[in-house]
Structure 1
């Protein structure tokens, strides 16, 4: 469409929403504003524009390796020794961290038995990779959709209390006034919808070894495969 787009990577939700509210960030394309990031929307929402929901089955999870002999978050109780008393989390300011700390741990009576270790998504994935390579038990905070669920032998723990929240939508958020200034882009973004297969295929290509550091080529390949199946890809 003729826009010049500069991509930046920010892993903390707080700076992302602050940037959107101030106009330092134009678009945040992977937002969870309904539940996970609700506190940020409550704070900054009047300065943010929602361009539309493109996926409606996102969820927060607690996960362990497939070989670990528990299947429910409830089973973590009394089994802290299996995991060194630690749940490996991501960034301290993440909505996933807040949900785990404020809801999952108390609702399953795990406070005092487990420590939620926070640092970064990259650090969590490093620990997950190390543990699974050694066939060791580990419990981590994860989410779906996310490529790590397919890259590592992990399974979601059942959540009978619903402490990790209900499935929610992924949205494109923009700084307030974006659609007035960039109406063609905003109108097109609003049409984007992805089902499980389409999202999985796109993420699989972007994160594959074949397209490492070549995400634009991965997107082109995905468009080539799906263009005749998706209305909003038609030109």
Structure 2
């Protein structure tokens, strides 16, 4: 199969543009254009990693690939209208359940490409604390605070519920993903206790030895999976690409490797994805040959 160069321009679009322009304005998806595939994604570090990896694999197999960064709502709408071919970024059964329920008749869920996502409070492995229920007895060791992320994030809302449910004497401090990891890095460098809001997959688990605190009251709930979802008709239009997407499956550890590479100064997510694909060709061959 002829090799093509990946087209990595990212088109930022609103839901209104996606829904309004649709196929009438000239969709990125053409029924007779079997060499070009459009992958949509949300700008989460996990989805940047996975989308660039599958893009590198599809490019390796002869496809031009367009990457389109969208909001979650616009991403699913693009699939339903045919403006995008596939996503590898659907968090189910909870996070994106509403989109799947509303658009399920126009899109195809190929199942999980990653199992083992998790939300919770995270501490360094060396910490003597193992459970959220133990935090009050050790509040001074943690400077009386939990280091959080953006105040509007769903994880922060859950953590506020954790503080109430466990009647914690620690204050939840909002910030950003960057300030959270900076605080974590500083504490580990000085071998100090710190507790942060955490989720898997995340590159911090590849960089440091960390553990989740037990959540005996199950406030954070169970794990989710990340699914691959494609537009109706993709199997008929691009059977080889469909088969690769269907077989795509990796672990949080795999994703963490790519996410960690993307944290380096001046990192190019696509170049890192190509390097990861080269270094893990045996696994990639399973996707290409439909063995996963």
Q: TM-score, normalised by structure 1?
A: 0.74
Cα drift, residue 205 of structure 1? 4.5
User: 3-state SS of the aligned residue for 1:79?
Assistant: helix
Unaligned runs of 5+ in 1: none
User: 3-state SS of the aligned residue for 2:152?
Assistant: coil
Find 1:94's aligned residue among 153, 160, 164. Answer: 153
Find 2:260's aligned residue among 197, 207, 212. Answer: 207
Cα drift, residue 214 of structure 1? 3.5
User: Cα deviations across residues 82-101 of structure 1 (Å, max 9, x unaligned)?
Assistant: 22322112233333223322
Find 1:10's aligned residue among 39, 43, 46. Answer: 43
Comparing both chains, which one has the higher relative contact order based on Cα–Cα distances under 8 Å and sequence gaps of 6 or more? 1
Say whether residues 1:233 and 2:288 are aligned partners.
yes
Q: 1:183 to 1:133 in 2, by over 3 A?
A: same
* Contact preservation (8 Å) 1:28, 1:172: yes
Cα drift, residue 159 of structure 1? 2.3
Q: Distance in 2 between matches of 1:4 and 1:178?
A: 23
* Contact preservation (8 Å) 1:17, 1:44: no
* Contact preservation (8 Å) 1:65, 1:137: yes
- 2:132 aligned residue: 73
User: 3-state SS of the aligned residue for 2:92?
Assistant: coil
Unaligned runs of 5+ in 2: 13-41, 46-69
1:12-161 counterparts in 2 under 5 A?
Answer: 16-23=71-78, 26=84, 29-35=88-94, 37=95, 40-42=96-98, 45-47=101-103, 49=107, 50-102=109-161, 104-110=162-168, 113-161=169-217
Q: CA RMSD in A?
A: 3.7
Number of equivalences:
224
Cα drift, residue 182 of structure 1? 7.1
Cα drift, residue 17 of structure 1? 2.0
- 2:51 aligned residue: none
Q: 1:21 to 1:29 in 2, by over 3 A?
A: closer
* Contact preservation (8 Å) 1:29, 1:173: yes
Q: Compare CA radii of gyration and give the structure with the larger one.
A: 2
